[in-house]
Chain A
Amino acid sequence: MVLQQLSNGLTLGMVYALIAVGYSLVFGILRLVNFSHGSVYAFGAHMAMLFVSMQFGIIPAFILSIVLTGILGIAIDKMALAPLRAKKSKGIAALITTIGISYIIQNVLMITFGSQTKFFPKLFDFGSIYIGGVAFNTTQICISGVSLMLLLILSCVIRYTKVGLAMRAVEQNQKAANLMGIDVNFVVTFTFFLGGASAAIAGTLISGYYQIVYPNMGFVAGLKAFSAAVLGGIGVLYGSIFGGLVVGISESFAAAYLGGSYRDAVAFLILIIVLLIKPTGLFGKKGITKV
């Protein structure tokens, strides 16, 4: 029972981590909480569903969804946020804009796909495997594995590639990054692409797990992933991963031992406690509002 809950929690946590990373990346570069991210995640899930229903096969559907959702991320920045930055408007304007965009995306999904809950085919179902008498669900293993792999790839891109170095430079000092000849706009675009792409992956994985898709599926998932990001220290990648796992595991234990009505509340309770003790989050850096 405990192992089972742990496994459920780890699976959810890995996916939350994948969404949380999107909040964290954008926050790192722009000091902006992108509240449209939950809807971007829902968009990714719907795209995957659309292409699956068009008989593309699950892998091509996955890839198309990743690319399109990444492009949606870029479009959000180019059409709504970049003009605000160009006018040097206040951060709050951008924040409210992202909330507005969130509703626009949700409504477009509703108009296009209908607001009802739709079926999504099960991903990676190879039955259970038994190790030492304990049953492991292959769906969970695969979802965790895919998420972990993508998180590792993302970390490697940021740590070891030239564009990753540029991202870290822009995160720390935009003016100096500019002086180095870094195209800051390109870095922002690339970051939004990564955020959108990882949200699409998370959306597809979760839809395959629960086998349902609906337009405002991103609301609660987005909030939880956001708390995961804040919990770990927003802007810190491994913090988001850790935060995602904490939120996922606490949710699954709360659902099992306290009852289903507590499953969503526990994540926020933990968040509040952590912020009271350490306002920058567990791995948060001080002075992050500089720039």
Chain B
Amino acid sequence: MLSIRNINTHYGNIHALKGISLEVKQGEIVTLIGSNGAGKSTTLGSITGLLKATSGEVWFKGQNITNASPSEIVKMGISLSPEGREVFPALTVEENLQLGAFTRKDKKGIKESYERVYELFPRLFERKKQTAGTLSGGEQQMLAIGRALMSSPQLLLLDEPSLGLAPNLVLMIFELIQSINKQGTTVLLVEQNANMALSIANRGYVLETGKVTLSDDAKALSNNESVRKAYLGHI
């Protein structure tokens, strides 16, 4: 479904991605793990068109989408719940969700998306007239994911959805990611919480300083000695 082929991305002189390749197949949950600064967010930025890759290609459903604009990418069926939520704090929950469906014109489909999001996150329905800035961290994370679902994506990119959340909320978010996936949305999940991510993923990639150093089934990765040492807190 998504195929990244040898992409390089720079921030000025900083060479952040040094030839990354990865695949996501329809229906999967794929996780991208790695420590802080490894290039996980940069990878997602290069897929969504927020950042321009300097070389390499990104393909989605048989089309070359390298360096397409963010709005074209959203229309094609990829959306991102960014690191740090990035909700619109002074807008209501409902307006935030409405913005998630900004590129869509199909009224009926949009209504179904609202229903889907409110069903997944009843908390958002209760707070739909509240401004996003007044929500708790967990609720803002739900809103960021809900907003990304409003474009009815085939591929959902999640950047560190568990960041800064209490353990019970982390568990809840991961369960919700699984339900979203079961509803037919393919997921590429970026996490520092490698343990949790590998427990729900089909496959995983390990990223280190801009390079993919390992890729395997999630099970195999969680049993891998070096992964356990580096990312799983030697459980």
* A contact set with B: CB distance below 8 Å: 162, 165-166, 168-169, 172-173, 175-183, 285
Q: A181-B70, A181-B151 are in contact. List 14 more A-B contacts (CB 8 A).
A: A165-B98, A168-B88, A169-B91, A172-B88, A172-B90, A173-B86, A173-B88, A175-B50, A175-B86, A179-B79, A180-B99, A180-B102, A182-B102, A285-B90
Task: Look across to chain A and name the residue whose beta carbon is closest to the beta carbon of B132.
Answer: A172
How many A-B residue contacts, CB cutoff 8 Å? Answer: 56
Question: Which chain A residues lie closer than 8 Å to B89 at the CB level?
Answer: 172
| Pairs across A and B, CB under 8 Å, 14 listed | A165-B91, A165-B99, A168-B90, A175-B86, A177-B99, A178-B50, A178-B70, A180-B74, A180-B99, A180-B103, A181-B74, A181-B102, A181-B103, A285-B90
B91 contacts A179, CB within 8 Å? no
Kindly state whether residue B87 has any CB partner on chain A within 8 Å. yes
A interface, over-half SS: helix
Judged by a CB distance under 8 angstroms, whether B82 is at the interface is: yes
Closest Cβ of chain B to A39, distance in Å, is 32
Task: Tell me how far the C-beta of B92 lies from the nearest C-beta in chain A, rounded to whole angstroms.
Answer: 11
Q: A169, A179, A183: which has the most chain B beta carbons within 10 Å?
A: A179
Q: Which residues of A contact B87 (CB under 8 A)?
A: 176
Q: Which of B70, B90, B95 contacts A179 (CB 8 A)?
A: B70
Which residue on A lies nearest to B80, using beta carbons? A179
Nearest-Cβ distance from residue B68 to partner chain A, whole angstroms: 11
Is B71 an interface position by the 8 A CB rule?
yes
A120 to B70, CA, bound (A): 49
A182 CA to B50 CA, complexed, in Å:
12
Closest chain B CB from A146 CB (angstroms): 30
Q: Are B82 and A179 in contact (CB under 8 A)?
A: yes
Q: Does B100 lie at the interface of the complex (its beta carbon under 8 Å from any beta carbon of A)?
A: yes
How far, in whole Å, are A168 and B99 apart by their CA atoms in the complex? 10
B86 contacts across to A, CB distance below 8 A: 173, 175-176, 179
With CB as the reference atom, state the residue of chain A lying closest to B48: A179
The minimal Cβ–Cβ distance linking B130 to chain A, given in whole angstroms, is: 16
B10 in the interface, Cβ–Cβ < 8 Å?
A: no
**Residue interface bits B194-224, CB-to-A below 8 A is 1, else 0:** 0000000000000000000000000000000
Q: Which of B74, B79, B91, B151 contacts A172 (CB 8 A)?
A: B91
Which chain B residues lie closer than 8 Å to A165 at the CB level? Answer: 91, 95, 98-99
